[in-house]
Amino acid sequence: MRTQQLAVTAFACLLGSTTAISLAGSRRDGSAPRVVQHDIQRRHVADPIQHDRNRQRTKKRDTVEVELDNEQTLYFMDISIGTPPQDFRMHIDTGSSDLWVNVDDSRLCEMRSDPCDASGTYSANSSDTYHYLNSDFNISYVDGSGSYGDYAEETVRFGGITLKNQQFGIGYVSGVMQGIIGIGYPVNEVAVTYGYDPYPNIPANLLEHDHINTNAYSLWLNDLDASQGSILFGGVNTEKYTGSLQSVPIIPVYHDIYAEFTIALTALGANGENGALIDNVAIGALLDSGSSLMYLPNDITQSVYNAVGAQYDSSSGAAFVPCSLADEPGTLDFTFSAPTIRVPLNELVLPAYTQDNEPVCIFGILPAGSSTPVLGDTFLRSAYVVYDMSNNEISLAQTRFNSTEDDIQEITQGSNGVPDATQVQSAVTSVAQVSDGARIEGGVGSFGGSSSSSDNAAQATAAPGYNLALLGAAGMMIAAF
Ligand SMILES: *[C@@H]1O[C@H](CO)[C@@H](O)[C@H](O)[C@H]1NC(C)=O
Ligand SMILES: *[C@@H]1O[C@H](CO)[C@@H](O)[C@H](O)[C@H]1NC(C)=O
Ligand SMILES: *[C@@H]1O[C@H](CO)[C@@H](O)[C@H](O)[C@H]1NC(C)=O
């Protein structure tokens, strides 16, 4: 089993109930907008660093995005599968593309502690709408754990809608306690590496069945201290952000193959001064709701640590800050060609454990080493993000924490379909090559103040390119078509 490096304290163990929200109509004819909204809940993460480390290892080596986690989940939503309905609490993951669930008699789920209970387990024999497809479902992890079994079709319900014949995975052999709802590009599905055509995953199937107009959704995670956010398929809730949305292109993994939500981070500033820490760069960064933390190039991470007084501890792989940093008024400001998202310092200070009755806090940014930079939940909470797979664009605005108002507008077809969004002119579309140097993990002294740490960092260059792992992935996908 995986080792725990940080002791556990609750971040916020808030398991609220889920309700589908009734929507205020915003179509001209007065009918309800064609959107599907669902609350999402936040749950504590026992050890965000270990959680992310496992994910990243797999991401770096495998061609298929897999979700690695057990109970250390952050954002999840309730769905039901089958007839009569069986209930699940699923981890929402923009970094993978399959929906899959556990069964109750796998070795893992049979353990006395009932590790799979919180998320739910599926019984094909108890459902009238189960339909077997094949036995090529296999999500695997580099550390040897994983989940495999069958692909099947079922009736899936959430947010007040019913999707019939939704393809999903069943983990008859599983090392992962939590069911996942992967909402990325279909080309990233496990099935594709097994030579199948991409199938309509949840967002694509919502489109196919006219529940939404276009393959796009918005994710509002809300404040670190809040228990609920929401996911809105096919729409934008203009009350959940300030200013207006700005759209930047998603960076393809290879030529015109779009497989992941990577966009170009072009500057990093502080306290309202854009670019104060680093400017005129082009760093490909993955928007990943399944990552708890952010991972930035080593040299940039070091300048952030210098700015906030964080101490990187190579033995635990964590960066420590005084918990009082959360009371400081500053922000870190992330620019993507034009839109800038200001992340308040208190969103970056995570209580980790208690030592001698004093709380110990870790910082929400870690060095990426040679792997792809990731903007995980410590970034995403401060942004309202529209993931538009139909147009291969991301629209961003500064989130409005704790907003209780709703103004839901549907996303329409076409290149300007995201309401209240403008396309950024001359947005950066090519990103730096990520060097394939040694990784930081495991606590070698390659990070922590020496200027040579930048040897391993992603360097901003004018050359277009992508990291080798992703090019490998693209090769696999081309082969599969
Ligand atoms: C369903 O039940 C049959 C007969 O009782 C059994 O052989 C089969 O393994 C069960 N299938 C699953 C998926 O549990
Ligand atoms: C699943 O995939 C992993 C990694 O590719 C492989 O080692 C394993 O044998 C596969 N399992 C099955 C049942 O196909
Ligand atoms: C949002 O609500 C939570 C929970 O009530 C509260 O702790 C937090 O301070 C609020 N955040 C803001 C920015 O007002």
Can you give the pLDDT at residue 455? Answer: 28
> What would the mean pLDDT of 33-46 be, rounded to a whole number?
75
- Residue 317 banded pLDDT, cuts 50, 70, 90: confident
pLDDT in tens, 425-444: 999 988 875 433 322 332 22
Can you give the pLDDT at residue 46? Answer: 61
Q: Is it the case that residue 147 has pLDDT exceeding 90?
A: no
- pLDDT, greater one: 96 or 339: 339
| Residue 220: CB atoms within 10 Å | 24
Can you give the pLDDT at residue 31? Answer: 67
Whole-angstrom distance, CA of residue 368 vs CA of residue 471: 18
Topology adopted by domain 244-423? Cathepsin D, subunit A; domain 1 (2.40.70)
Q: How far is CA 409 from the centre of its chain?
A: 23
Give whole-number Cα distances, 63 to 25, 96, 151, 224, 251, in Å.
Answer: 42, 11, 19, 32, 17
> What would the mean pLDDT of 377-391 be, rounded to a whole number?
96
- Residue 454 banded pLDDT, cuts 50, 70, 90: very low
> What would the mean pLDDT of 379-399 be, rounded to a whole number?
97
Give whole-number Cα distances, 182 to 11, 143, 189, in Å.
Answer: 24, 20, 9
Can you give the pLDDT at residue 186? Answer: 96
pLDDT in tens, 106-141: 988 999 989 899 899 999 999 999 999 999 999 764
Can you give the pLDDT at residue 436? Answer: 35
In which residue ranges of the chain is CATH 2.40.70.10 found? 36-211, 244-423
Average per-residue pLDDT for the chain = 79
Ranking 2-16, 51-65, 369-383 by mean pLDDT, the lowest is 2-16
- pLDDT, greater one: 222 or 251: 251
- Å from CA of 123 to ligand 2 middle: 23
Q: Is it the case that residue 14 has pLDDT exceeding 70?
A: no
pTM higher than 0.85: no
- Residue 8 banded pLDDT, cuts 50, 70, 90: very low
Can you give the pLDDT at residue 50? Answer: 64
Pocket of ligand 2 (CB under 6 A): 138, 140, 148
- Å from CA of 59 to ligand 2 middle: 16
- pLDDT, greater one: 452 or 420: 420
* Rg, Å, the chain Cα set: 21
Ligand 1 atom with the smallest distance to the CA of 172 is 13
- Residue 53 banded pLDDT, cuts 50, 70, 90: low
Pocket of ligand 1 (CB under 6 A): 124-125
Which ligand sits closest to the CA of 170?
Answer: 1
DSSP characters over 260-306: S-EEEE-EEEETTEEEEEE-S--EEEEE-TT-SSEEE-HHHHHHHHH
Can you give the pLDDT at residue 366? Answer: 94
- Residue 421 banded pLDDT, cuts 50, 70, 90: very high
Can you give the pLDDT at residue 18? Answer: 32
- Residue 291 banded pLDDT, cuts 50, 70, 90: confident
Percent of the chain with pLDDT over 90: 57
Can you give the pLDDT at residue 93? Answer: 87
Whose Cα sits closest to atom 13 in ligand 2?
148
Query: Does 36-211 carry CATH code 2.40.70.10?
Result: yes
Ligand 1 atom with the smallest distance to the CA of 125 is 1
Can you give the pLDDT at residue 453? Answer: 29
- Å from CA of 390 to ligand 1 middle: 40
pLDDT in tens, 181-237: 999 999 999 999 899 999 999 999 999 999 999 999 999 988 887 777 889 999 999
Q: Is it the case that residue 466 has pLDDT exceeding 60?
A: no
Of the chain, the end-to-end C-alpha distance in Å amounts to 37
Q: Is it the case that residue 44 has pLDDT exceeding 80?
A: no
Catalytic residues, by residue number, are 93, 288
Q: Is it the case that residue 475 has pLDDT exceeding 80?
A: no
Query: Which H or E element spans position 406?
Result: none
- pLDDT, greater one: 144 or 213: 213
DSSP characters over 317-359: TEEEE-GGGGGS--EEEEESSS-EEEEEGGGTEEEEEEETTEE
Q: How far is CA 250 from the centre of its chain?
A: 15
Q: Which region, left, alpha or beta, applies to residue 141 given φ > 0 means left and ψ of -120 to 50 means alpha?
A: beta
Can you give the pLDDT at residue 236? Answer: 94
Query: Which residue of 81, 105, 122, 125 sits with most ligand 1 atoms within 8 Å of its CB, as the best mutation to test the pocket?
Result: 125
Is the Cα dihedral 93, 97, 99, 104 positive or negative? Answer: negative
